[in-house]
Structure 1
Amino acid sequence: MRERDCLVERLENETTPAERAEALRLSQRRERPRGIVFFAEINLGLAITAIGIALFKAPNHFALGGTSGISIILSTLFPALHVGSFMWIVNAGLVLLGLVFLDRTTMGWTVFSSFALSAYVSAVEWALPLAAPLTGDTMLELIFAVLLPAVGSAIVFNIGASTGGTDILAMILRRHTSLEIGKALMVSDALIVLAAFGLYGPRTGLYCVLGLVCKTLFIDEAIESINQRKVCTVLCRDPRRLVRFIVHGLHRTATLRTETGAFKGQRYEVVVTVLTRREATKLRLFLQDYDREAFLTMVNSSEIVGRGFRGV
């Protein structure tokens, strides 16, 4: 304990006022609401989702659930309107339900997402009108029909927002009923796929089943990939130099703890830090340069909550 306190004291003494001010500035910047970045990310996610719907889902009649699935079916039944037009109608109805059964604070960005997604789908349909599927490869189109909305939704979900649509229905069910929301939404998606069987035949219907199964898996994987960080644990001969590199070179922080080796019974200062993949690579290269005998372990984690990472 005394050794660790001495190390911390030396680190504090070696830090200049300018360096401490820079560390405080970085910490405050990470804690401030991201504003423009948040708005850009939510629109990027919605735009990617819209491309998947307009270019791959709608031309192939891949009704995989949600408001896009309902709109694809309605567009087939009433061909005078495009999928984007029906998304405006369906989302407007869901927003009205949300305003009746939920408070405006709860709705939050969901209202914006509902109409923005409809606008993006309409814009893509206007810019790139398709009378037939983009390619002749149905499986390839299904992959993009699932992958693009999954990536887009993952970006939106990752910042704490939603893509609107059936999320409003989920919030209403959560507040006013005892139904399990996951099962309720799964049943609604299954009914949409069942309608696709009746309208488009077993071939397209089976593709819809396959897409529905893959959709959830892809979204989970995309979110984990976006959030993945490296939890790094380091034993080295000069932890002071390592900590200075982490703080001033990577603009991160670290935790120091004292451990005892099982073989020799020697006490070590262990440095633990959480980094992005790029920062972890820089850390590994730094250790290779100055201490080739350092012991480094990296563990992947997609659930890092706290300052500098995801908000609480």
Structure 2
Amino acid sequence: MKSKTKNFFLLTISTLIMAVGTYFFKFTNNFTFGGITGLAVLVAKTGVISASDFSFVANMLLLLIGFLVLGKGFAAGTAYSSILLSVTLSLLDRVCPMQQPLTDQPFLELIFAIALPAVGSAILFNIGASSGGTDIIAMIMKKYTSIDIGKALLATDFLITLAGCFAFGITTGLYSFLGLFLRSFMIDSFIESLNLSKYFNVVCSDPKPICEFINEDLHRSATVVLAQGAFSGDDKYLVLTVLSRIEAIRLRNYIKEHSPDAFLLISNTSEIIGKGFHSI
């Protein structure tokens, strides 16, 4: 129950962050990068429907198609996030209508238009969900075709962004292309940052106090391997463990104070699968 509550909270917060970035910074500046919301900006140019309402209609249709084609295995988290994002955008359009950008600094607004949705997407991907939209198309393509989905979606985004150059002018189009190229990089960076842990290799003569501190104070575990010093030939022990950044500082300080002769090798890692970290 605790895990489900945490996931529900993360789904909600991350989707709301995406909605704020999309509505206040992307729609108002006519930035056309990024799937359904990028296409919504182009459609809104016709005056037939607002970008927020088009996103709502398109996401609901894709969601329905997803349920029909993908069946019961369709991710509940993706469905919830897609509905919440669509409804929030439509509500913002009615509660807080925007006639112009918040500032007269398009590059500053581009940063927020990229960063806020990137943070939201990173959190969603990290818990195994997405915000729907073109991700649903990707799921369907993956099921029925052998097409390289990543390249297909990138090509679609490129064409939508290119169309923005003709619809809104070369300046806005170039900003949109910059957003298109930076978005994936920022999402990957945020995901890596969220998962960042510290991998310890501790070479020591007596592993007992170090292991006791890891077990009793940090509530983590470790693996102890018998080793031998290449120069001295003396028996040594290698303590292997993975900790969060805060825990890593505590262990480093403990070893420095209580086992000053130990040799530490500390590495950054973002791919830890197992109990206490990510499930397989």
1:36 and 2:5 aligned: yes
Q: Deviations over 1:77-126 (max 9, x none)?
A: 125x4322111101011112212321121343222121111122234444
1:305 and 2:273 aligned: yes
Which of 218, 221, 229 is the aligned partner of 1:253? Answer: 221
Contact 1:98 1:107 (8 Å CA) reproduced: no
Corresponding residue SS for 1:34: helix
Match of residue 118 from structure 1: 86
Shift of 1:302: 0.8
Corresponding residue SS for 2:100: coil
Q: Which amino acid aligns with 2:239?
A: V
Shift of 1:179: 1.3
Match of residue 232 from structure 1: 200
Provide the identity percentage: 41
Pick closer, same or farther for the CA change 1:248–1:124 going to 2, 3 Å: farther
Structure-2 separation of matches of 1:115 and 1:122? 11
Structure-1 separation of matches of 2:225 and 2:103? 58
RMSD: 1.5
Match of residue 23 from structure 2: 54
Contact 1:65 1:188 (8 Å CA) reproduced: no
Shift of 1:213: 0.3
1:207 and 2:146 aligned: no
Structure-2 separation of matches of 1:129 and 1:266? 73
Match of residue 109 from structure 1: 77
Structure-2 separation of matches of 1:127 and 1:310? 39
What is the correspondence of 1:171-190 to structure 2 with a 5 Å cutoff? Answer: 171-190=139-158
Shift of 1:51: 1.0
Match of residue 157 from structure 1: 125
Contact 1:99 1:107 (8 Å CA) reproduced: no
- The normalised TM-score by structure 1 is 0.86
Which of 220, 235, 240 is the aligned partner of 1:267? Answer: 235
Q: Deviations over 1:36-77 (max 9, x none)?
A: 001111111111111110111011001112111111222221
Q: Which stretch has the larger CA shift, 99-108 or 166-175?
A: 99-108
Q: Which amino acid aligns with 1:206?
A: L
Corresponding residue SS for 2:265: strand
1:69 and 2:38 aligned: yes
Match of residue 287 from structure 1: 255
Shift of 1:33: 7.1
Q: Deviations over 1:267-307 (max 9, x none)?
A: 11111100011110011111122122221111111110111
Contact 1:255 1:271 (8 Å CA) reproduced: yes
Q: Which amino acid aligns with 2:28?
A: P
Shift of 1:145: 0.7
Structure-2 separation of matches of 1:226 and 1:76? 37
Contact 1:64 1:209 (8 Å CA) reproduced: yes
Contact 2:75 2:129 (8 Å CA) reproduced: no
Contact 2:205 2:235 (8 Å CA) reproduced: no
Corresponding residue SS for 1:205: helix
- The normalised TM-score by structure 2 is 0.95
Corresponding residue SS for 1:206: helix
Contact 2:56 2:89 (8 Å CA) reproduced: no
Contact 1:246 1:253 (8 Å CA) reproduced: yes
Corresponding residue SS for 1:269: strand
Pick closer, same or farther for the CA change 1:266–1:237 going to 2, 3 Å: closer
Shift of 1:239: 1.2
Structure-1 separation of matches of 2:95 and 2:18? 16
Contact 2:78 2:131 (8 Å CA) reproduced: yes
Which of 162, 165, 170 is the aligned partner of 2:138? Answer: 170
Structure with bigger gyration radius: 1
Structure 2: gaps (5+ residues): none
Q: Which amino acid aligns with 2:35?
A: G
